[in-house]
Amino acid sequence: MTFRAPVRDLALALSSVGHDALIARSFPELDADTVAAVLEAAGGFTADVLAPLNRVGDVQGARYENGHVTAAPGFADAYRAFVAGGWNSLSADPEHGGQGLSKAMELAVFEMVHAANMAFGLCPMLTQGAIEALALHGTERQKRLVLPKLVSGEWTGAMCLTEPQAGSDLSALTAMARPDGKGGWRLSGQKIFITWGDHDAAENICHLVIARTPDAPPGVKGISLFLASKYQVKDDGSLGPRNDFRAGSIEHKLGIHGSPTCVMLYEGAEAELVGELGQGLPHMFVMMNAARLQVGVQGVAIAERAFQQALAFAQERKQGRTVWEADGMIYGHPDVRRMLMLMKAKIEAARAICLTTGVLADVGRLAETEEERAAARARQELLTPIAKAWSTDVGVEVASLGVQVHGGMGFIEETGAAQHYRDARIAPIYEGTNGIQAIDLVGRKIGMADGAVMRALCAELALTAEHLSEVPDLASVGRRLAAGVAALERATDWLLAHRGVPSLAAATPYLKLAGDVIGGAMLGRQALAAAGSDDPWMRSKGALARVYSGQVLAQAPGLADGLMDGADDLEATPAAALAP
């Protein structure tokens, strides 16, 4: 099935989340025409170069042999074309060879990359995180020799955290870095689930590895961050001998077969300290938070790809007697159309949440006053777990609906619908499971400034509801959004008053509630922008907002009631009671 980059949707989404005002103030070299040109060019590249390799990557995948990983057929050439097109350097600082565009623009481009070929997109995605980590915490040598190569894409980056006994609990890791007596370090240990940890698409791979040092205290305070390159980097920037680490194997996974997920073995590898000793976790979280937002974008992207395939199938498949005129195709069945419109509405809501978070990242760096920068950073922190978790849940839900629209043909691998579902399923798991995102939201983020950050957001959402209520065709959306905001405020107050086990038990439904309501407001704003338009495409924004308000926002009060039931039943039910 042909992929069509959603350039028009992305342009509208960027405009609706404040990108126009951002570039007018902080990116004078950008204007609407330039944004459109970048999106069109990226859309062409992803559709023509990356999308045709998506099925190849799924069927043939990456290969492992004798400690070496070979990318899926066509991937290495596609990566070199990606680098040659400048797509790796969009938002990086020009001081390091970047183009200095907005983070939101980068996210919009990477949505198209992930939609065209999610397995491919993981490689440059992780490089972006490595760029951000080294830009903030790297040594002068690392910034001079390594960072420009990562920015250009000549070298790629990998994030190396997980060990067999230390998944989400990084305090349990045992990888060890010992001083080499010459100012450097020797790294030993095993890391698992290392995405694109080895491959043949770039001449060098830079691993950012968290490890302990011999005299470090136990727990997370004993973790430091190290840089180890596949080939040693000489002082003149040229590459030296192969470093002492290798891939021990690659995993056989449910999906994203084109992305090599490696077991990495470090056998006294040369490494450099990044940042300060004992600060490895906060340094790594620069990379982790960048990856979490990008993974949220992956959720949007795989949903978009699944939706496009389902829509095309519904417009060419004849089955039964249709209710509405659609040339007899199943698009004329009310339930099929309901699924498709709900898929589209959730995609646009999740897209807007992710791009809003990207705009906030830009404002948090570039606003004129510290007060405005601090406010943007606080809201970005609040939205990041929602962007990651809610959007990736949307990715799985929409991909599942895509299979459903296909019916029995969706369960057959040859149609491709099943691949999107399999690929989507990893996104709620990696870069911090969605349960961890929910715990972060209720345990830390909604309590910022005694709840003021969330309350300020709710006040803006309520104002959007008021504006919607003033437009006759959107009044129902405004009414349901207002009820949703009230439910979110009520749930927030309850969580702030019930810290500990009750809030942990309620974390996941609360994150869903927050995403549902914020997403409804995002759709409402697009509908307001489209109100009165004669363009059928623009008018569809109002229809999507109404479908979403009836299918999703209408459930918000009940979701708030349910999450406040507490944890009593969860605590009181032993595992034996659940056994067969």
Paired tokens of 228: 């180890």
In whole angstroms, give the CA distance from residue 253 to residue 290. Answer: 24
Torsion 104-106-111-112 (CA) sign: positive
Distances (CA, A) of 162 to 22, 167, 213: 37, 5, 17
* Structure-token match 């107050």, residue found: 493
Percent of the chain residues topping a pLDDT of 70? 100
Mean pLDDT of 371-396: 98
Residues marked active site are found at 431
Q: Has residue 512 got a pLDDT over 80?
A: yes
**For 5-58, what is the HEC assignment?**
CCHHHHHHHHHHCCHHHHHHHHCCCCCHHHHHHHHHHHHHHHHHHHHHHHHHHH
pLDDT in tens, 143-176: 999 999 999 999 999 999 999 998 888 888 999 9
Mean pLDDT of 182-193: 97
**Quick one: pLDDT at residue 247?**
98
Average pLDDT across the chain, whole number? 96
**Quick one: pLDDT at residue 320?**
82
pLDDT in tens, 292-338: 999 999 999 999 999 999 999 999 998 888 888 778 899 999 999 99
**Quick one: pLDDT at residue 325?**
76
Within 8 A by CB and 6+ apart from 164, the residues are 190, 192
Q: Per-residue confidence at 289, pLDDT binned at 50, 70, 90?
A: confident
105 exposed, middle or buried (CB, 10 Å; 0-12, 13-18, 19+)? Answer: buried
Check: pTM over 0.85? Answer yes or no: yes
Judged by DSSP in three states, 161 sits in: coil
Which of 244, 261, 264, 269 minimizes the C-alpha distance to 190? 264
**Quick one: pLDDT at residue 65?**
96
Which of 278, 96, 261 minimizes the C-alpha distance to 191? 261
pLDDT in tens, 13-50: 999 999 999 999 999 888 989 999 999 999 999 999 99
Percent of the chain residues topping a pLDDT of 90? 91
In whole angstroms, give the CA distance from residue 17 to residue 380. Answer: 13
**Quick one: pLDDT at residue 294?**
96
**Quick one: pLDDT at residue 382?**
98
Torsion 158-58-166-267 (CA) sign: negative
Q: Are 137 and 225 in contact (CB under 8 A)?
A: yes
**Quick one: pLDDT at residue 419?**
98
Paired tokens of 283: 């340094």
Q: Has residue 196 got a pLDDT over 80?
A: yes
**Quick one: pLDDT at residue 29?**
85
**Quick one: pLDDT at residue 324?**
84
In whole angstroms, give the CA distance from residue 84 to residue 149. Answer: 13
Q: Has residue 369 got a pLDDT over 70?
A: yes
Q: Per-residue confidence at 1, pLDDT binned at 50, 70, 90?
A: low
Within 8 A by CB and 6+ apart from 348, the residues are 9, 13, 522, 523, 526, 541, 544
Mean pLDDT of 254-259: 98
Judged by DSSP in three states, 141 sits in: helix
**For 22-36, what is the HEC assignment?**
HHHHHCCCCCHHHHH
**Quick one: pLDDT at residue 6?**
97
